[in-house]
């Protein structure tokens, strides 16, 4: 029998075997365990951090795009934390974002009902979303690593397309409104012609608002980053809105009462929000009446309100009026057409600014929408 076939290491007898390098993180492989089996069975990239035993469990999909994230144990939690920081930063993540994420993780790991919002990281050419789910026994957290690279790229392309489409829509509508105003000025002595031109202008403005609402609604990532903020006096803006409705809605009187205030906001989005609310107030007050716009201070918060004397909203519908496509189903509301997007857009604009929006209504008597412009 050839002994060398079974004992090949004998050829090394007499030599000094080189020492194996000890990882900086004192990482040691874990014996097979139920949690390791569970993690490996998951099809998505996922890991589990055991805070009690300072252990990290990972699966093959995660190791495929981040090979250094292997299942291992650490001597202490500080070593585990340092390891994660290094892995993220070696792969190009923003150190400030990593520190913020890990500090939030530390704050939540021993809470009674821990929860965290998903976090996004740029690792190399990948955009990753980390979704966290904490456990109590043992104390730990499952982290799902979702590759959002293609989705983000698609959304960027979509937003670029919508911006171009918005420009293409607004250009002819602006031209229609401008020439209509010129014709209205030239036919002030002809009541019938002036009335028809007024109707054309109203419909062009309504179409412009519908286009704005539709295009804004298509923006999935509607957030503060999409706002163009500036500092301006609020009262002149509100006075311009009131003057607009004096000519476009003769059956309604729009009355303004506001304090002097300077705010920081996206003026175009604020106008869109107010036009949606005032347009609704007029639409749902079919018998006419006075629409009241007020601006007042509630402690340190500026509150803008739009109040109408219209048909109101049934109490059971109030919790749902800001939901997408929701329309109140009542005998009074059915004849009035609408897309169900206006109030949803109002809420998204308010939330992007960090504001609150609230509705109060008495069915059959009217509705008040209030915007809380928090600092």
For 54-87, write each residue's pLDDT tens digit: 999 999 999 888 888 889 899 998 999 999 888 8
Under a CB-based contact definition with an 8 Å cutoff, are residues 139 and 110 in contact?
yes
Identify the pLDDT of residue 300.
87
Q: How many CB atoms lie within 10 A of CB 45?
A: 21
Q: Read off the DSSP letter of residue 169.
A: H
Sign for the pseudo-dihedral over CA of 232, 238, 243, 244: positive
Length of the chain: 375
Confirm if 124 and 105 have CB atoms less than 8 A apart.
no
State the pLDDT at residue 338: 66
Residue 335, token pair as written in the block: 């004849």
Taking 70 as the pLDDT cut, the residues of the chain under it are 1-32, 113, 159, 162-163, 166-167, 213, 216-223, 225, 337-340
In this prediction, residue 142 carries a pLDDT of: 93
With contact defined as beta carbons under 8 Å apart, do 40 and 60 qualify? yes
**Per-residue pLDDT, 227:** 83
Give 277's contacts (C-beta < 8 A, 6+ positions apart). Answer: 306, 346, 369
- pTM above 0.85? no
Tell me, what's the pLDDT at 50? 92
């Amino acid at each position: 029998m050839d002994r060398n076939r079974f004992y090949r290491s004998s050829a090394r007898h007499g030599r000094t075997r080189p020492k194996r390098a000890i990882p900086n993180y004192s990482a040691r492989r874990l014996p097979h365990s139920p949690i390791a089996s569970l993690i490996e069975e998951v099809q998505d990239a996922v890991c589990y951090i055991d805070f009690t035993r300072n252990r990290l469990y990972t699966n093959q999909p995660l190791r495929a795009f981040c090979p250094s994230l292997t299942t291992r144990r650490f001597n202490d939690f500080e070593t585990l934390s340092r390891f994660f920081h290094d892995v993220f930063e070696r792969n190009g993540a923003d150190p400030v974002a990593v520190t913020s994420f890990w500090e939030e993780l530390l704050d939540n790991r021993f809470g009674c009902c821990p929860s965290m919002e998903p976090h996004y990281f740029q690792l190399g050419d990948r955009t990753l979303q980390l979704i966290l789910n904490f456990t109590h026994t043992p104390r730990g957290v499952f982290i799902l690593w979702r590759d959002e690279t293609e989705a983000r790229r698609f959304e960027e392309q979509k937003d670029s397309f919508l911006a171009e489409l918005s420009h293409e829509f607004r250009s002819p509508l602006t031209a229609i409104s401008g020439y209509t105003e010129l014709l209205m000025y030239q036919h002030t002595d002809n009541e019938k012609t002036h009335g028809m031109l007024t109707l054309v202008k109203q419909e062009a403005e309504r179409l412009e608002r519908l286009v704005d609402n539709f295009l804004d609604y298509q923006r999935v990532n509607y957030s503060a980053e999409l706002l163009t903020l500036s500092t301006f006096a609020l009262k002149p803006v509100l006075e311009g809105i009131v003057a607009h409705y004096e000519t476009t809605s003769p059956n309604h009187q729009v009355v303004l009462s506001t304090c002097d205030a300077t705010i920081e906001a996206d003026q175009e989005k604020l106008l869109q929000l107010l036009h949606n609310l005032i347009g609704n107030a007029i639409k749902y007050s079919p018998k006419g009446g006075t629409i009241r716009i007020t601006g007042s201070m509630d402690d340190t918060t500026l509150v803008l309100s739009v109040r109408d004397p219209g048909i109101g909203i049934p109490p059971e519908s109030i919790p749902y009026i800001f939901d997408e496509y929701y329309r109140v189903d009542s005998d009074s509301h059915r004849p009035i057409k609408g897309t169900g997007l206006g109030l949803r857009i109002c809420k998204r604009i308010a939330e992007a600014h960090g504001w609150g929006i609230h509705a109060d209504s008495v069915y059959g008597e009217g509705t008040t929408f209030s915007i809380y412009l928090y600092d």
